[in-house]
Structures are given as C-alpha cells and as structure tokens.
Structure 1
C-alpha cells in the first residue's frame, strides 16, 4: 500500500520560486495552491497509514476466524463422505469449473473423496488446495496438492504434487493430444482440469484456484443442489402453474356469475310484466266504473 503520494513535478518547480518554460509538463501554481496541495498530500499520508493499520488488524481478525472455522470444515468433510459423488457433482454443476472438465477427468473425479483449502498463517502469503482420492485406475497418489505462494517479497509462484499416472491413463497427455489434433492448443488448455493443476504460468491470476478457494470451498452444498434449485425455480413441481382444479374453480365461478346475471335479468323481466299487468287491470276497473 502506498505510503504517500509524490507531488507532481509542476508543484516541485515552485519550490525553487521559478518556473521552467522548457518543460512542457510544468505548470504554474500560486503559493496558496501549492501550500494546499502539500497539505492534501500530508493528509493522504495519514489516511494511507490508517489504511495499512486497518489492513493489519483485518488480517488478524481473519486469522482468528480461520482457526474457529477449521473444526466446522473438518466436520463438514466427514459428513460429505457419506454422500456418494458429492464433490464431482458440485464440480460439474459449477459454471466455471465445469468448463475445464473433460469427460475422462469427470470420471476421474468420481474418486475424489475430500477437498480442503488451507490458508497460510500469513493469509497474504498464500494457500494450498488438497484433493484426496480413493484408489482409482488413473494414478497412484492418494492426495494431490496445488500450492500458491503470493507473498510480498519475490514474484508469485505455485507448485503442485507430481502425479504418478498409471500406464496409459495420463490425462494430461490425452488432453494435450486432443489439443494438438484440433489445432487449438492455447484455447483448449483452459478446458483441462489436470492441465490447470500442473500449470504454473501465472499464479497471481489463477482463476480456477480462486474459484475453488473463494466460492466452492466456503459453500459446496449450493452447487451440489443446483439441479434441485433449478427445478423448483422453473416450476417443475407444478407450484407455479395453474392446476386443473384451479381452472375448474374459475370455470364454475364464471358459470355461477352468468347464472346470477341470468336470474337478475329474469327477475327484472318478471317485475316489468307484473307492472304491465297491474296497469291493464286498473284500466279495466275504470271502464267498469264508467259504465
């Protein structure tokens, strides 16, 4: 984090009480403006110092809660082992991770029994991702790890466990052969999970690792349950669609309303007929009286 903002050359020029017309970047500031700029720079130094202090304190809080979260992560992993194919299902349902999974790699991940992310004590310095596997036809390793060192000193670096592939089942070779056959090596490299695992080209911008650490690991359940969530949202259970009973009720209501209207009209007609009958009867009575 920056500890100060260097004043522009145009401000420093005034410190000598003269301006340089030969320097195109120079610009005159009056004395009051220069003083104000220097005061702003001093304030900025104080703000940066507080930001750095806050960053250190936030780091201590993260370290504290990482330790408190650890037993819950371990408990969750123990429960996950009771669910067959939990991790491969979550991986396949994840929009970013699914894009780097080839068919054979997906089959290999059916043997993945446990995933864990371990952040270093100094969180800023890096983390590791551990993949635990049952015995499988692809490699001998029971655990493979990809580790990231992102410390402030030195360039970012990553390293991964050498995978002891079983004869004829090296998924990185089969992936590379497919890339070469299609003539799109650079584009298709991103689609291979195990090619990602062994790739250390740019540790500071490893999107797959960041997705696993910051999205998959904190809450894998949401991706395991994605199909069920989609079904509910799309109204597959029928809750959002009108049922036949609802349509029937609406039909009955309409019929009843029409019958009520017909009844009201009939009543009005009958009332009018009665009024006309009364008038005719009254006229007959008047004629009898006249006689």
Structure 2
C-alpha cells in the first residue's frame, strides 16, 4: 500500500544538479526565442489590423473604454481628446521585445499640437534575462512624455493631475523615487488618462497602465472594441438578475402564505 505524501520541497541529488541547471537554461533560451518569434510574426498582423481600423470612426476610443485595465484611468473630460485617436501602435525591439514604445496618433483637435504622442518603456537595468519570468510594470522604466497643449484651458494634465502617494516631482514617489506599489490605493486619484500615462513616470501608475495597454488592449483591440474580449468591461448583470429572482420568489412566498394564515384563523 502506497504511503501518503504531503506537500514539501523536493531535493535534487548533487550529481544531477548541473544537468538540471543546464536543462533549465535551455528552457529559458527556448522561451526567449519564442518571445522574439511571436513579436516578429505579430508585427505585420498588427499593421494589417491598423490599416483596417483606421477607417472605423472611434475604434480606439471605444476599445479603451471597454478595456477595464484602461477605462479605470479615463476621466470624463478625457473623452473629447480620446475621440480623436486614429491609431495606437506598440513598437518592440527585435532582440529583446519586452521593452516597448506606445504611440498614440491623433486627428487635428483643439487640445494638442502633437500629431502623435510616444511613451517609452525601457528595460530596467536589474531586469532578468530574456526567457525568465517577466512583469512589464516591474521590469521596465517609464519615461516622461512632453505634450504640447494648445492652451492651459485645454491642458488635461494640469486640470486633472494624477494624485496619490506615488506621485511627486517627475512621477517620483514619496520616498523620492518611483516606487513599485501604491502605498495607499485609497489615496490614489488617476485624474486624466493623459496625466497617468504620458506625464507620469511611476511604475505603479504609468507602468501598470502601460502594461494594460501593451499586454491587454493592444493584443486584443478588436475584441475590446466589440466588447467580446475576456478582460472586457462587462456590466455585471448576473447579480442584478439574481436579486430580481430572489425578490420575485419572496413576493410569491408571501402571497402563498396569506391563504394559509386565513385558513388557520377559520380553524
């Protein structure tokens, strides 16, 4: 009869450790090659998608709203400028696709003079080698983006600045450096989308928003536009329906009890 095993860490025999290490490195190298290959074959597909979606009015604006990872950063005052987005592109380095540059393209508008805005995320110096575990907002460094606003009255970054313990000069945190996590999420106010993404250099704010754009929105833009993506912002109607069913059931039970009570009185 086999003995019961409980969860515990296994031990690699000393004479097998070098072979295991070499094999793990081969897996990492294979993963790195897969990442490079995926970026290479996706690039022309994303361009083909852009050629089509540019002719769909409000495509990216709606996709941004439907994607929960980006919509939570959108202020009501952002929509007028977001509606002028004609394209969003994510560029990657062919040798190491983990770092990325996000570029927003705009039609002529009353807000900014820029035809496009770029947000660069460079690979952090202490990032693990390609093929190892990688978390975008932890292992990249967001750079600042200057925006040429047409007037202070249209400057969304100034009118609706991002607020919170992580936000200081140049996006630095309360400790004088861009931190990894928000100290108190209750104190965080995203303000304008353009402040959180372009004006900010905090990993916990611009980094997370950039990660949501790169890994969620851009990868499945059509799904978000159609509101069919798994991560899309679906109104949670199931709870409301359950509540309505319970209320209906309660009303039926109450009505059913009335005749019984009357019958008891007669008895």
TM-score, normalisation: structure 2: 0.62
Q: Over residues 81-135 of structure 1, what are the superposed CA-to-partner deviations in whole Å (9 max), with x where a residue is unaligned?
A: 1110000101111122111100111221100000111121233651111111111
- Contact 2:163 2:190 (C-alpha < 8 Å) held by counterparts: no
- Contact 2:162 2:196 (C-alpha < 8 Å) held by counterparts: no
Aligned match of 1:161 = 145
Specify the structure having the higher radius of gyration (Cα): 1
Taking a change above 3 Å as real, the CA distance of residues 223 and 146 of structure 1, as seen in their structure-2 partners, is: same
Aligned match of 1:276 = none
5+ residue gaps, structure 2, are 1-10, 128-138, 165-183, 239-267
Counterpart among 87, 94, 105 of residue 114 in structure 1? 87
- Contact 2:120 2:143 (C-alpha < 8 Å) held by counterparts: yes
Taking a change above 3 Å as real, the CA distance of residues 153 and 121 of structure 1, as seen in their structure-2 partners, is: farther
Aligned match of 1:104 = 77
Matches of 1:66 and 1:178, distance apart in 2: 35
- Contact 2:87 2:104 (C-alpha < 8 Å) held by counterparts: yes
After superposing on structure 2, the runs of 4+ consecutive aligned residues of structure 1 that deviate more than 6 Å are 227-231
Higher relative contact order, chain-length normalized (CA < 8 Å, sep 6+): 2
- Contact 2:163 2:187 (C-alpha < 8 Å) held by counterparts: no
- Contact 1:156 1:204 (C-alpha < 8 Å) held by counterparts: no
Matches of 1:195 and 1:212, distance apart in 2: 15
Aligned match of 1:287 = none
Write the mapping of 1:24-43 to structure 2, written as runs, cut at 5 A. Answer: 40-41=13-14, 43=16
Aligned match of 2:44 = 71
- Contact 1:124 1:150 (C-alpha < 8 Å) held by counterparts: no
- Contact 2:36 2:97 (C-alpha < 8 Å) held by counterparts: no
SS of residue paired to 1:148 = strand
Aligned match of 1:193 = 193
Matches of 1:177 and 1:91, distance apart in 2: 18
Q: CA deviation at 1:53?
A: 2.3
- Contact 1:145 1:160 (C-alpha < 8 Å) held by counterparts: no
Q: CA deviation at 1:42?
A: 5.2
Aligned match of 1:146 = 119
Q: CA deviation at 1:171?
A: 0.4
Aligned match of 1:173 = 158
Matches of 1:111 and 1:136, distance apart in 2: 7
Structure having the larger proportion of residues in helix: 1
Counterpart among 80, 86, 99 of residue 53 in structure 2? 80
Q: CA deviation at 1:188?
A: 4.1
Aligned match of 2:109 = 136
**Backbone CA RMSD of aligned residues:** 3.3
Q: CA deviation at 1:49?
A: 2.9
Aligned match of 1:223 = 224
TM-score, normalisation: structure 1: 0.57
Aligned match of 2:64 = 91
SS of residue paired to 1:190 = coil
Matches of 1:109 and 1:79, distance apart in 2: 19
